[in-house]
Chain A
Amino acid sequence: MREKSTTLYIGPQHPGITGNMMVKLQVEGDTVVKAETHVGYLHRGFEKLMERRNWLQSFTIVCRICVPEPDPNEENYARAVEEIEGREVPERAKYIRVMTLELARIASYLLWYGGQAGSAGLYTMPQWSVGDRNYILDLFEDLTGGRIYHMYIWPGGVRRDLPKGFKDKALKTMDYLEKRIDEYDKLLFENSIFQKRAKGVGIIDKNKAIEWGVVGAPLRGCGIKSDVRIDDPYEVYDKLDFEVPAMEGGDVWTRALIRRFEIRQSINIVRQTLEKMPGGEFYNKIPNPMKWKIPAGDAYVKTESARGEFAYYVVSDGTNKPRRVHVKGPAYVHGVTLLENLLVGENISDVSFIMNSLGTCPPEIER
């Protein structure tokens, strides 16, 4: 006898959903038989707004595309504009950019720690990691003046130099975090219940992964070494020393292990940039932004964000406003086709768990 299937809506108002989106599930018993992602609850029409704003005004908008980690957006946009215009960026600015990106990655991973554990019902973990994330945000506040939206990496360099005493403070924070991450390991990764929950859940097929468009940590969790920082090095990543992990498995547990490894790598990179940072100018001055025209052309740039490859396709038509800025976040694929595929056959308990492990962030899907 066939069980009757029920429709279950997860979201948009649901504590388990990441952000503001909806997953419509067909459920038989406890098992999902069909999943459908509904997005559009956060659509602001950024790409339309950028058509109306000039190049510098658009720069204040791009960071709002992805809230947990705005810096890859800024960096992407700035780099695309520089590539079209042919503007040079001082070496120091590049180092500062890399440092900012890595700090943002750490902050994003700390938020992920919270989300992953919270969706599994371990509420102590978000309290710790989101609390510790504030220390990174403090660094950002010192550096840029803003906790969440920094608007710091702009075309031609960065907006301001490192404040006095920043290096010491940053290094101290890194030391503190490294200690804390060991404690997180005890709470989360050594926890047998978490291991039971995470192993064998939400498996991505290794052979299909690249074709499906999987990027970032989920792809590395399938055993495929792929990272924009090595494949298509930008800024000064080719001068830094870091490892990119790849582990076989493809389930939530492997993705978690990858992130656990990468957060340590990021801490390491921040230390390196602080050590190696040369002196000199930190930005290449742009002309009066109202009259600042970019020659016609287009550029496709990408950055490795905490959730995967973040790509910008920017087209200029020679005026002082961008013709088209198209943003593709990792969640554009992860949150729609991949999620719809992965959820089939899983337990309802794991829906939110899998979403968190993929890092589904709806503002990237609809912008």
Chain B
Amino acid sequence: MAYDNNSQKIVDYIQNFARKHSLFVLAYGTGCGAIEIPPTMTSRYDAERFGIRGAATPRQADVLLITGYLATKTLKRVIRTYEQMQDPKYVIAFGSCTINGGMYWDSYNTINMLDKYIPVDVYINGCMPRPEAVISGFVKLQDEIQAGRADGWKKYQDNLEEYRANQKKIIKNWTMPDFNW
């Protein structure tokens, strides 16, 4: 069986092409950004043109869209959800508050930097980002996937200890099952 670089490249290309054009977004409105998701999905902006559609459960989803700030209580659920998703999975963080805390930088209950807790592939800034910005974020993610650079899920596997340490710093009562592939 020839398993040289070229055939692998072709397989990768086809895989990435399919992955790029079919992004199932998990229906999880984690923050106030969830209000711009319906306009993005519906008639005026119609994200389904790009193959973006909603998925009801984490098992079926490819993209975890973190819509806005994460309260620590939600962070626990988000981590759990992220770990339930099947590889390859991508994270799009939405809004200024995921980047540096935004408006809520001094709030005792919201995290400030999302990429310390789960790997983030694309950030969309703004409060709120407009639907155009969201779509442009998705297009950026598609480009990254095609180029093979959207590998947050690999990063998570490789640096699991580091992420876990950060997560456990906030989530005091850690009762979740361990992450196993």
A interface vs B, CB < 8 Å? 12-15, 19-20, 40-45, 48-49, 52, 60-61, 64, 67-68, 111, 114, 126-128, 130-131, 133-134, 137, 147-149, 363
CB-based contact B39/A130 at 8 Å:
yes
Q: Kindly report which residue of chain B lies nearest to residue A115, judged by CB atoms.
A: B38
9 pairs of residues in contact across A and B, judged by CB atoms under 8 Å: A12-B28, A13-B27, A41-B77, A44-B71, A48-B107, A61-B103, A114-B38, A126-B42, A149-B127
CB-based contact B54/A15 at 8 Å:
yes
C-alpha spacing A133/B41, complex, angstroms: 13
At the interface, yes or no: B36 with Cβ under 8 Å from chain A? yes
| Cβ distance A130 to chain B, nearest Cβ, rounded Å | 4
- B residues less than 8 Å from A130 (CB atoms): 38-39, 42-43
Q: Which of B36, B81, B107 contacts A44 (CB 8 A)?
A: B107
- B residues less than 8 Å from A147 (CB atoms): 36, 128, 130
- B residues less than 8 Å from A49 (CB atoms): 104, 106-107
Q: Kindly report which residue of chain A lies nearest to residue B56, judged by CB atoms.
A: A15
At the interface, yes or no: B15 with Cβ under 8 Å from chain A? no
Given contacts A19-B34, A41-B77, A67-B35, could you give 7 more A-B pairs where the C-beta distance is less than 8 Å?
A13-B57, A43-B109, A49-B106, A64-B32, A67-B34, A130-B43, A131-B42
A-B CB pair tally, cutoff 8 Å: 91
CB-based contact B38/A13 at 8 Å:
no
CB-based contact A40/B71 at 8 Å:
yes
C-alpha spacing A192/B32, complex, angstroms: 34
- B residues less than 8 Å from A114 (CB atoms): 38, 42
Question: Contact string, B66-89, partner A, CB cutoff 8 A, digits 1/0?
Answer: 000101011001000100000000
At the interface, yes or no: B114 with Cβ under 8 Å from chain A? no
| Cβ distance A39 to chain B, nearest Cβ, rounded Å | 9
CB-based contact A126/B77 at 8 Å:
no
C-alpha spacing A148/B37, complex, angstroms: 12
- B residues less than 8 Å from A68 (CB atoms): 35
Question: Contact string, B96-133, partner A, CB cutoff 8 A, digits 1/0?
Answer: 00000001101111100000000000000001101000
